[in-house]
Amino acid sequence: MPTKYNVIPKRNPRDPNAPPKYYPSVVAGGRITLRQLARQIAEISTVSTVDTVAVLEALLTIIPREIADGNIVELGDFGSFRLRVQSNGADTAEAVSAGNITNVKPLFAPGKEFKKALNNTDFEKAAS
């Protein structure tokens, strides 16, 4: 099923007088819950839905813990997670401390197979 997109105008913040340009913006087709995901996994494997939910819940507990410890979590061809920080600069290297960190975010780097699957996405303009 093709992924739908809308067309949205965006102005150039560096040139407020320039006419807007139009860009495609992906429209979410819905949401899938952890339980629904587990059911789909159970349908294509020998693992029950309950066991799949348990494993996914454990994964969702372990990944944040591991990246918070500074580790890169590699999930094979799916991709990897690592920690990314935003920070304020300091005038000298000695003046830098953990206090300079203003925001912490997970960073996902898709693996080769994940990228390949996304590159095969079909797109369709959403009805206005």
Query: For the segment 50-73, what is each residue's pLDDT rounded down to a tens digit?
Result: 999 999 999 999 999 999 999 999
Q: What angle do CA 41, 1, 49 make, to 5 degrees?
A: 15
Q: Over the chain, what is the mean pLDDT?
A: 94
| 37 pLDDT above the threshold of 90 | yes
pTM for the predicted model, two decimal places: 0.75
| 128 pLDDT above the threshold of 80 | no
Distance CA 117, CA 110 (A): 10
pLDDT of residue 127: 85
Q: Hey, what are 37's tokens?
A: 């995901």
Domain ranges across the chain: 72-118
Q: Hey, what are 65's tokens?
A: 């813990």
DSSP assignment string, 17-66: TSPPEEEEEEPP-----HHHHHHHHHHTSSS-HHHHHHHHHHHHHHHHHH
